[in-house]
Chains A and B, each alone.
Chain A
Amino acid sequence: MGTKERGRLASFILDDHRYVLLGTSAVAGIGMLLSSQPRPTLSFLASAFTVELVMYYLLAAWLVVSAVALVFKLTHWKTYAASAPFAKPAVARSLRYASYVVWAMTLVLIVDRLVLGVASDWQVAVAAETRPLDDELQSILYILWNGRGTFAAGLATTIELAVFGTIIGFVLALLLVFCRIQTVDPADNDFVRFLKVVGCGFAKAYSTVVRGTPMMVQAFIIYSGIFALIRTTGMSTTEINAVWNPFWGGLVTISLNSTAYMMEVLRGGIESVDRGQAEAARSLGLSQWQAMSKVVFPQGIKFAIPGLSNELIINIKDSSVLSVIGTFDLMFASTTVAGIYYQNLQSNMIVAVVYLMLTLVASWLLGRFARHFDVTPEPFGSTSDQTILGEE
């Protein structure tokens, strides 16, 4: 046993080893600490007082045994492995089995005190007529319950903005990166040359402007700019709102913003493909477009997948700035609910947890997706990780 290669945690749980006493003592300590906490209303141990008492003393007993072992170790430092009763294989194995009991008891206490504690607070919060003022957790849960419709609407919008923004951005980035990587070929006629120069120049300028300005500013410009543009047709504000509202403004902003970043990611992927690949394709007579689409791009996009999927995570988080133009996303929901209860901190704690769960789920899904292509995803990133001027 223990000869097999295991992870450090798995080995700690499954193998006989010298840290079983020390490590499980920490677990036992946590259990005793929880046991000394007041019981929540839903606690099931409240009706089994003797059981908890026995558990408490068993945990204490483990600490005593560990303390004895520690003293033995300190006094027999050199010869511990040979002389200590704790180091004998049979004893070590029993200690490991005993440690399972300690963990199980601590787990029961965690459920009883923490899980059922939150559940009890939840019961109180849901039933409360007004916000409980004396208990922080009950207050947060009260806000979450009573603002649930607002939060859910904001959550749906945030997901829509992130998912559709990333997809639209990706499609546009594909088109734009195609313009960006054009180089004039001797075989091109003057018209094609003109198109290539203009296309490449546009892509460069677009990327520089979009990545060089804050998305919040872009959101204001796009939302009010297009609003003003529609106004010139003589439509009334109500009529305009029917076709152009903060949601569309936010979606356009986040899509155009992602386009620039994803284009740079794609360009990086394409440029990391060995130049020889394109040369070999061209030497066979393939055109620039054929070499790109059949040889270079399929390889480049594989390099770009980690960066591209990172953009979804970034959009989940960065869509929060769109609330400034009135896009009803999770951040806007938070501000709205906070305004009702004058509780900025508690409301934002709630959405922080929701954002974190969203990004964790998204990165887990993307990780599975990336594994299909045999690539490893990047850890969480931010748009500020990337340089603004794409030139190397």
Chain B
Amino acid sequence: MATVHTSGSREPMVRIEGLRKSFGNLEVLRDINLDVMPGQVVTIIGASGSGKSTLLRCINLLETPDAGHVWFHGADLAADHVDVNRLREKIGMVFQGFNLFNNMNVLDNCTLAPVTLKKMKKDEAERVAMERLADVGLADFARANVANLSGGQKQRVAIARALCMQPDLMLFDEPTSALDPEIVGEVLEVMRRLAADGMTMVVVTHEMSFAKTVSDRVVFMDKGVIAEEGTPAEIFGAPKHARTREFLARYLED
């Protein structure tokens, strides 16, 4: 599938080519091709089981692709013996289940990776972490036990933790799906601001209004393939594919 780049001659930050992934006999991804340009916000929508999360997890190699390539800044992540740890430092990820480290407080969650990997001094890492926590409105919770936070607070800490590594790319795997409806907004607000600051983001979500208003491109996945992609106006305004229309109709009913 040829992708028309609106951003001109710049190199894509992420280029996915011919990506395939199966779990046993179940083919989850079938020949995925996708480019993400620097500064772009790409949302991936689609029904459960369509392969959205697996695609996202292939970008930072939490899932190992069976075939195809994932280039990040021109380096092929799927190649054998590539130092994936170094590349992951530049790719932040936010999970549906928050996955905050239960054996540490909020601040230590944020400083673990910078201190361990960037050999940053502890107080320097803490200063940076406090800034990121302030960005998400949780500076007062720096010494809190993660178990005592609400879901929305946990997810905002998770975002701050990823940002402490100063990533070039942020991956969001259904970041609001585990949250109560009334606190979804606080997480989306943080993501909105991040997008406005020019962060490159790939977001798997069921929040259609977020996809519509924040993303530069929307990708609709169906049964392991990208069924349709385009600008929010194209996908939400005039979907070409019957499956896209069907899927969106179900969501717009709500």
Partner of A277, one of B81, B82, B84, B99: B99
Chain A: minimal CB distance from B144 (Å): 18
Contacts of B112 in A (CB 8 A): 281, 284, 286, 294-295
Contacts of A281 in B (CB 8 A): 101, 112-113
Chain A: minimal CB distance from B100 (Å): 7
Q: Is the CB of A295 within 8 A of B162?
A: no
Cα-based distance from A280 to B113 in the complex (angstroms): 10
In this complex, how many residues of chain B approach chain A with their Cβ under 8 Å: the count is 34
Partner of B99, one of A186, A276, A299: A276
Partner of A283, one of B62, B64, B100: B62
In this complex, how many residues of chain A approach chain B with their Cβ under 8 Å: the count is 23
Q: Closest A-chain residue to B104, C-beta based? A: A295
A298 at the interface (CB under 8 A from B): yes
A274 at the interface (CB under 8 A from B): yes
Cα-based distance from A285 to B93 in the complex (angstroms): 10
Cα-based distance from A285 to B158 in the complex (angstroms): 15
B206 at the interface (CB under 8 A from A): no
Contacts of A185 in B (CB 8 A): 84
Could you mark each residue 173-192 of chain A with 1 if its beta carbon is under 8 Å from any beta carbon of chain B, else 0? 00000000000011111000
Q: Is the CB of A294 within 8 A of B116?
A: yes
Q: Is the CB of B91 within 8 A of A287?
A: no
Cα-based distance from A321 to B162 in the complex (angstroms): 55
Q: Which of B113-152 contact A (CB under 8 A)?
A: 113, 116-117
Chain B: minimal CB distance from A182 (Å): 16
Given A276-B95, A286-B117, do A187 and B101 touch, yes or no (CB 8 Å)? no
Chain A: minimal CB distance from B159 (Å): 12
A290 at the interface (CB under 8 A from B): yes
Contacts of B84 in A (CB 8 A): 185-187
Q: Is the CB of B80 within 8 A of A186?
A: yes
Given A277-B101, A282-B88, A283-B60, do A189 and B81 touch, yes or no (CB 8 Å)? yes
Q: Is the CB of B64 within 8 A of A186?
A: yes
Contacts of B100 in A (CB 8 A): 280
Could you mark each residue 52-95 of chain B with 1 if its beta carbon is under 8 Å from any beta carbon of chain A, else 0? 00000000111010000000000000001111111111011101
Q: Is the CB of A295 within 8 A of B113?
A: no
Q: Is the CB of A285 within 8 A of B99?
A: no
Contacts of A282 in B (CB 8 A): 62, 85, 88
Cα-based distance from A299 to B91 in the complex (angstroms): 25
Contacts of A378 in B (CB 8 A): none
Cα-based distance from A91 to B247 in the complex (angstroms): 79
Q: Closest A-chain residue to B117, C-beta based? A: A285
B42 at the interface (CB under 8 A from A): no
Chain A: minimal CB distance from B4 (Å): 31
Contacts of B6 in A (CB 8 A): none
Q: Closest B-chain residue to A300, C-beta based? A: B103
Cα-based distance from A287 to B113 in the complex (angstroms): 10
Q: Closest B-chain residue to A284, C-beta based? A: B113
A279 at the interface (CB under 8 A from B): yes
B161 at the interface (CB under 8 A from A): yes
Given A187-B83, A187-B85, A285-B117, do A280 and B165 touch, yes or no (CB 8 Å)? no
Contacts of A283 in B (CB 8 A): 60, 62, 88, 91-93, 95, 162, 171
Contacts of B165 in A (CB 8 A): 284-285
Q: Is the CB of B62 within 8 A of A285?
A: no
Chain A: minimal CB distance from B81 (Å): 6
Contacts of B116 in A (CB 8 A): 286, 290, 294
Q: Is the CB of B113 within 8 A of A186?
A: no
Chain A: minimal CB distance from B57 (Å): 8
Contacts of B97 in A (CB 8 A): 274, 276
Cα-based distance from A299 to B100 in the complex (angstroms): 12
Most A-side CB within 10 Å, residue of B85, B98, B117: B85
Cα-based distance from A115 to B61 in the complex (angstroms): 72
Cα-based distance from A286 to B64 in the complex (angstroms): 17
Cα-based distance from A8 to B225 in the complex (angstroms): 65
Q: Is the CB of B62 within 8 A of A299?
A: no
Cα-based distance from A189 to B81 in the complex (angstroms): 6
Partner of B102, one of A290, A294, A299: A299
Contacts of A186 in B (CB 8 A): 61, 64, 80-82, 84
Could you mark each residue 260-292 of chain A with 1 if its beta carbon is under 8 Å from any beta carbon of chain B, else 0? 000000000000001011011111111100100
Among all A-B residue pairs, the 7 with the closest Cβ atoms: A285-B89, A280-B99, A276-B99, A284-B113, A283-B93, A285-B88, A298-B103
Instruction: Please list the residues of chain B having a beta carbon within 8 angstroms of any beta carbon in chain A.
Output: 60-62, 64, 80-89, 91-93, 95, 97-103, 112-113, 116-117, 158, 161-162, 165, 171
A-B contact pairs, 22 of them (CB 8 A): A185-B84, A186-B80, A186-B81, A186-B84, A189-B81, A277-B99, A277-B102, A279-B95, A279-B99, A283-B62, A283-B91, A283-B162, A283-B171, A284-B117, A284-B165, A285-B85, A285-B89, A286-B116, A286-B117, A294-B112, A295-B101, A299-B102
Given A276-B95, A280-B93, A294-B112, 18 additional A-B pairs, CB 8 A:
A186-B80, A187-B83, A187-B84, A276-B99, A280-B100, A282-B62, A282-B88, A283-B171, A284-B88, A284-B92, A284-B117, A284-B162, A285-B85, A286-B85, A286-B113, A287-B85, A299-B103, A302-B103
